[in-house]
Structure 1
Amino acid sequence: MPATPAPDLMPTRSADTAVVLDRREGPFGEVVLRERGEHFEIIANGCFLMDTSDGRSERLLIDAALAALPAGRSGPSVLIGGLGVGFSLVRAAEERRWGRIVVVEREQAIVDWHLAGPLDRISGPALADPRTGILHTDLVAHLRTATERYDALCLDIDNGPDWTVTEDNGSLYSPAGLAHCHDRLTPGGVLAVWSAQPSPAFEQALRNAGFSGVRTEEVAVARGVPDVVHLALRAV
């Protein structure tokens, strides 16, 4: 999921080449959906964002948040920041212990690809789950202006606190952004943040923002540093 230059687009379809299924220009730049063999890829402003080849870390984002919640909490609500290829949403919908599942996605193109496009084959059942709802809005703005609280915030909108996809995403990891996350959580609620690499500085920022139980879970990758999920709790 790290942002790397996208390989050249190719017109032929094979496991080694990519076929553009849709290309949109939105308020945050260009987004492209490609198919490479049996997998889908999302490209944002010419950089590889995510694909459907693995998904372990996206599932960990949901599983670790649920495991970190206080025992005995009935039907906890979860806000998933970023629809992406749908792996986090699908994982949440597979777990019957979750109550309300809210997905915030700012790119209309990505919403369309799931509701009436090729990514429906991944997320269709999860989107049809009566617990699930989609909010087409910017996550940072939603956290700043919303009044509803959630038992878990599972955020995966770019490559992590040290490597943002767009400059304005950086405000999510600022002291003000973390304060908004803290405010949107119920007492004992958990914040889970996906990152393409560990960030000790972000762990300290979470502590400075008043979170407790700050820790990092890793998912090994074939090459390079591991994907991680940063976890932090709002005090009960």
Structure 2
Amino acid sequence: MTLHVDGPVTLDRREGPHGEVVLRQRGAHHEIIANGCFLMDTSDGRSERLLIDAAYEALAAAGKTGPTLLIGGLGVGFSLARAAVNPRWRRIAVVEREQAIIDWHRTGPLGQISGDALADPRSVILHTDLIAYLRTTTDRYDALCLDIDNGPDWTVTDDNENLYSAAGLAACQGRLEPGGILAVWSAQPSPAFEDALRNAGFTGVTTEEIRVARGVPDVVHLAVRPA
């Protein structure tokens, strides 16, 4: 008799400095769970690709050529893979604080999404905490594309709330070149975050939506550091 497993299968489970992270397989797809909270899976990467495309298109419309990009959060790799297929990005850095997620890409099943991008000489993975990196590095980028939570109103860990605070947004602005683009992924629209962006001194604040089969749309919040 053949047994059919309908539920997810756990492929790896790690305890890290920020809690537990789990890689599961559900049918043909993989999903990442952090501290019991579903983060993302490989079933639909439209909004993660929009995160990259919207930032690039805004820079191109402003006449920026050869831009540099910082991606906050490696996730399942959709954003990195999307950036790498665009030859116009001059440098692509990815900040990821979970060693397990990096391993799942370098030697695990998520490499099927990110493998070509990781081999791209423009790409580099920085194993560090995003908030700490923004506050300590002197590097600047033309675009910051951030996807470390389910959105500003639904963070994976409590300390991530600092990213969306006035101080965190000031750190983001400080790491952008004049005219640079901040793009933030969210599982739902956040008018309060739009207000926070404006209060932090960003201009051109807009929200782009990706409709989903059920529930509220995924969105990308966009904002410009004044030139």
Q: TM-score range by the shorter chain?
A: over 0.9
> RMSD between aligned alpha carbons?
1.3
Counterpart amino acid of 1:27?
P
Paired residues of 1:13 and 1:19 also in contact (CA < 8 A): no
Within the candidate set 204, 221, 224, 1:230 is matched to 221
Q: How far off its partner does 1:72 sit? A: 3.0
- Compute the displacement of 1:13 (Å): 8.5
Q: Look up the match of 1:62.
A: 52
Aligned to 2:9: 19
Structure 1 residue aligned with 2:162? 171
CA distance in 1 between counterparts of 2:154 and 2:69 reads 24
3-state SS in 2 of match to 1:23: strand
Give the deviation of 1:75 after TM superposition. Answer: 1.1
| Distance in 1, Cα, partners of 2:62 & 2:162 | 32
CA distance in 1, matches of 2:194, 2:22: 33
Greater shift after overlay, 177-186 or 66-75?
66-75
Task: Quickly say closer, same or farther: Cα 1:157–1:13, change in 2 above 3 A.
Answer: farther
Q: Corresponding residue for 1:35?
A: 25
Among 194, 198, 201, which residue is 1:207 paired with? 198
Q: Is structure 2 residue 118 aligned with structure 1 residue 127? A: yes
Identity %: 77
Q: Which runs of 5+ in 2 are unaligned?
A: none
Aligned residue in 1 for 2:74: 83
State the Cα distance separating 1:14 from its structure 2 match: 5.8
Residue 147 (structure 1) aligned with residue 146 (structure 2): no
Q: What is the TM-score normalised by the length of structure 2?
A: 0.96
Number of paired residues?
Answer: 225
Residue 108 of structure 2: aligned partner: 117
Q: CA separation in 2, counterparts of 1:102 and 1:43?
A: 23
Amino acid at match of 2:38: F
Deviation at 1:118, TM superposition (A): 1.1
Q: Structure 1: 5+ residue runs without aligned partners?
A: 1-11
Correspondence for 2:38: 48
8 Å contact kept, 1:15–1:36: no
